[in-house]
Structure 1
Amino acid sequence: MALVIYWYDIVCFGIVAASLGVSFWVLWRRELASKCDDNIIYQSLLVARPDITDRTVVPAMPGNHVGSSQLWTSCWKQVHPGWLLATRSISFLVMAGLLWKDIVEWDATIFIYYTEWTFMLIMIYFALGTVMSAYGCWVSFKQPSCVLNMAKNLFS
C-alpha cells in the first residue's frame, strides 16, 4: 500500500503553504504589533462608556485591546467598511442558501452530522459580522469627512 503523489498534489500543497505563510505574516504585522494609538480613555465591547469629565482617570484597557471599531474596519486603512459589509453579507447569504438546500433535500435530520452544525455556526458568525459591518458603515457615513474623502477618491 503505497502513497502516490502526483505533480498537482505538490502544487496544492504549495498553495496551502503560501496561504498559511501569508496569513501568519499578516497576523504578525497587524495584530501582534498593534498598539492602541487612540486617545480614548474607555473602550469596551460590552459596557457603555461612562460619563467621565475628569481627564485624570487612568485608561481602562491595555494598549493591545480590541476596540469596537476594529470589528467593522479592515487592517488596511484605505479599504472602506462597505467592502467588508458586502463580503460578509454575500458570504452569509450564500451559506444560508446552501444550508437551506441541505435542509430541503435531506430534512432536518442532516443536523446529526457535526459538519452541518459547524457550517451553521460559521453562518451565524458571518451574520454577526454583517450586523457589525452595517453599524460601522452607519458610523462612517455619519462622519461628513469620510463621505467627502470617499467621493473625492471615487472621482479622482
Structure 2
Amino acid sequence: MATGDAKLILPFNSAFSSSYWMRWQTPVCFLITVSPGIAAALMLYRLKRRRGCDHLPAAATWAPCFRGVPPLVLPVYRGLVVISMISVLYCLLRLNGLVEFYFYTQWTFLLVIIYFLIGTIISAHGCWVYYRQRRRQGVEEGNRFLTFNRDDNVDNHTALVTADNNSGGKLEDKRAGTWGYCMQIIYQTCGGAVMLTDVVFWCILVPYMSSAHFSVNLVMGCMHSLNLLFLLVDTLLNSMPFPWFRMAYFILWSCTYVIFQWILHACGFSWWPYPFLELATPWAPLWYFCMALIHVPCYGAYWLIVKAKNTYFPRFFPHSYVSL
C-alpha cells in the first residue's frame, strides 16, 4: 500500500524508541496482540494431540470438485495465477523496492502466491498420477480413481486406486502428505487474510485517508482485488475443506506481522504503515481491540463462502458435484 507513484522511504529516528514505548498504551496493546496468539497456539497444540481431528484426503489437494472438470484444469489455472500475481508484485517492487514488504498486504499477497505455487506443483503431480493410472489400467479403471464410495462410513473420501501388482487394483483412502497439509494451512490463512486486507483497504484506508499521503494506482488496485478474486475461483473449483479451528493460523499470521512492526519501531523506525497501529494516541487500545476482533468476521465470511458452496452446489449440480 505505497503512496502514489513516488518511491517509498521509511523515516528513521534513532531516538524514537526511548520515550515512545513508555506510554501506558504499549503494554495494553501488547496484551491485546499477544493474548490471541498464545490462545491460538495452545488450541493448535491441543488439537494436534488429538488423532483424527484433521483428516485431509490426498485427492482434495489436486482434484476438482466437479466430475466433468478434467484434473488438468487446476494446475493450469494455478500456474497462470502464479505468473499473474508475480507480475503484479514485480511491478510494485520495481516501483518501490523491497520496502513494500513493510505492509501487511504484500505479506498476504506473497503468501497467496506461495499457496498457488505449492498448489500448482501438487496438482501437476496428482494429474501425472491420475493419467498414468488411466494409461495403466484403462479408461474404465481410471474413471474409478475419482469415484466416491457413498456406502462407506469414511465420510465419502475419494477412493484412490493403487496400481499394486499383488493386490490387483486395491481401493484405499490415501491421506495427504506434509506438503498437502502445508498447502491447506496456507490456503485457510490466505482465506482470512485476503478478506482482512481488502476490507481494510477499500472500506477504511481508501475512504478516510488523506489524498496528500495516500493515493490508489492501478497496481495497488489489482493487488487489493486479484488476491481475493483468484482465491475465490480456486475455492469454487477445489475440494479443500475449510474447518473453523484453522483460524488460529490466521491469527498467528497477523500477530507475527504486528510483532514485526514493533521490532522495526523499537529499532528506530518512526512511521507506521497503518494509522490504527500507532501507539501514540489514547485510542490505540481500542483500535488494536477492533482489529483483533475483525479477524473473526473476516475468517467467518470466507468460511461461509465455502459452507455455501458445499451446501448449494450439490443441489444445483447433483450429478457432477462431489464433496470430500
**TM-score scaled by length of structure 2:** 0.26
Aligned counterpart, 1:50 = none
1:137 corresponds, among 114, 124, 127, to 127
Q: State the secondary structure of the residue aligned to 1:84.
A: helix
* 1:72 Cα deviation after fit: 0.6
Indicate if the aligned counterparts of 2:71 and 2:127 stay in contact, CA closer than 8 A. yes
| Residue 146 to residue 137, structure 1, CA distance change in 2 (3 Å) | farther
In structure 2, distance between residues paired with 1:138 and 1:119: 29
Q: 1:101 to 1:147 in 2, by over 3 A?
A: farther
Query: How far did residue 147 of structure 1 move?
Result: 10
Aligned position for 2:64: 74
Tell me: higher relative CO, structure 1 or 2? Use CA pairs within 8 A at least 6 residues apart: 2
- What stretches of structure 1 of length at least 5 have no aligned partner? 1-59, 151-156
Check whether the contact 1:73–1:136 (CA below 8 A) recurs between aligned residues.
yes
Structure 2 CA distance for partners of 1:146 and 1:134, relative to 1, 3 Å: farther
Alpha-carbon distance change, 69 to 109 in structure 1, aligned in 2, over 3 angstroms? same
User: Is 1:125 equivalent to 2:115 in the alignment?
Assistant: yes
Deviation at 1:137, TM superposition (A): 1.2
Q: Which deviations, in whole Å up to 9, do the C-alpha atoms of 1:79-109 show, x marking residues without a partner?
A: 1111111111101110011111111111111
Alpha-carbon RMSD = 2.6
**Residue type of the alignment partner of 2:114:** I
Aligned partner letter, 2:119: G
> Cα distance, 1:114 vs. partner?
0.8
Q: Taking every aligned residue pair, what percent have the same amino acid on both sides?
A: 31
Deviation by residue 1:41-64 (Cα, 9 ceiling, x = unmatched):
xxxxxxxxxxxxxxxxxxx968x9
Match of 1:83 among 62, 73, 76: 73
| Corresponding position of 1:41 | none
Deviation at 1:149, TM superposition (A): 7.8
Is the 1:72–1:136 Cα contact (8 Å) retained in structure 2? yes
Structure 2: which amino acid aligns with 1:121? L
Q: Distance in 2 between matches of 1:83 and 1:103?
A: 30
**In 2, distance between residues paired with 1:66 and 1:146?**
26
Q: TM-score by structure 1 length?
A: 0.51
Check 1:99–1:146 CA distance in 2 against 1; reply closer, same or farther (3 A cut): farther
Amino acid at match of 1:140: Y
CA drift of 1:125 comes to: 0.4
Q: Aligned AA for 1:74?
A: P
Mind listing any 5+ residue stretches in structure 2 that lack a counterpart? 1-50, 144-324
Contact 2:62 2:122 in 1 (8 A): yes
Residues 146, 85 of structure 1: alpha-carbon distance in 2 compared, 3 angstrom cutoff: farther
